[in-house]
Structure 1
Amino acid sequence: MEQSSRAPRYGWQGRLVHLLLALALAWPVQAVARTRLIWAFGDSLTAGYGLPPAQGFTAQLEAALNRDGMAARVANGGVAGDTAAQARARLLWGLRGLGAVPDLAIVELGANDMLRGLPPAQAQANLDMILAAFRARHIPVLLAGMRTAPNLGPDYAHAFEAIYPTLARKYRVPLYPFFLAGVAGQRALIQGDGLHPNPKGVAIVVRGIVPSVKAALR
């Protein structure tokens, strides 16, 4: 049988389709950044005690990360007055309430244990169980440390402040040594109660912790 010399019907359309597909595959596509979920799990310092919601820690941290080009939502898991034991008791239902597994948990606890003069070993045991629960669920943690009030004496200070580096080493999590760095003791940055940062103080806390948050998310 004689082979036809004519090109197959619609051959040029097929070649055009292949060309367009090749161009589409070669065209750079800008990736859409996924919004990271951060859970600030702590006491009144993360809850934003005494401040309007927009000026608290979680709101200011979220705004700072977004300004730096990191799509993030910071959920407020702070409860004023919570000791480490009270926070441990609400940890699991708090996680369920998020509706999603967080990309990072910032654990800021222990200040109320210290202010009440509770035994450091007790605070350490409860924080240990909190970190173990996060690890069991494969949730990365940034641990925020706390320092003691000077009236508690050097022995208490030594035992309490050692909690945070000890647990950070045990669970191999990053440690932000002192949550109130640059703010504690500065009257112009503290509310009238002498304990909680005002909006300017929160801004300094956020500025200090943002690099650690970014590194932990990476």
Structure 2
Amino acid sequence: MQKQPSSLAEKAYSVIEEMIVTLKLAPGTIFSEAELSREINIGRTPLREALQRLTSERLVVTMPRRGMMVTEVNITEHLALLETRRVLDRLIATRAARRATPEHRAQLADLAANLAAAARTQHTAEFMRYDRECDQVLEDASRNPFAARACAPLHAHCRRFWYLYQGNGDLGQSATLHAKLMDTVAEGNEEAAAAASDQLMDYLEQFTRAALEMF
């Protein structure tokens, strides 16, 4: 089950991150703290904390005397991001396979089924919500907070990339690869989990290169 924000700053972060990922705040959008505070109905102090975190994760940048701007997407840089994510995802997958509790394993099995159902109906927003929950359960199950904290913003960038270029993607194939990862972790098979993680990253790299060929 998706974690609930434990503070107003975390709530602000979660709301704004989703707005960025789903392109409600599209790349290049300039906004002010005051405008955003009114829109999401969260005070300026927790909002500022959330924006500082999003800035450190390169999802927003400060524009002197103009406000904040949602970062643009650079496809070449995204390939470098995937290189980094590949290493961290494999680590998280293998440690989750080793350390997951029975509750984690049951959650992963449920999420694999939910992802498949969302893919069948081509419901991208629902698919991405389940994708985020999968990441959170794997990160929690790995019991490696350093890897989890490093990987979380990379996943956010990848979800945004999918929204931008989803015409090149295949939700069904993505769901199948996610399910394989979830199943191998739930089974406690570290070697198979590492292989499944790499296969998913191979697909995401192919998806990114297909977007690059559009230009």
What is the TM-score when the length of structure 1 is the normalising length? 0.29
Comparing both chains, which one has the higher relative contact order based on Cα–Cα distances under 8 Å and sequence gaps of 6 or more? 2
Structure having the larger proportion of residues in helix: 2
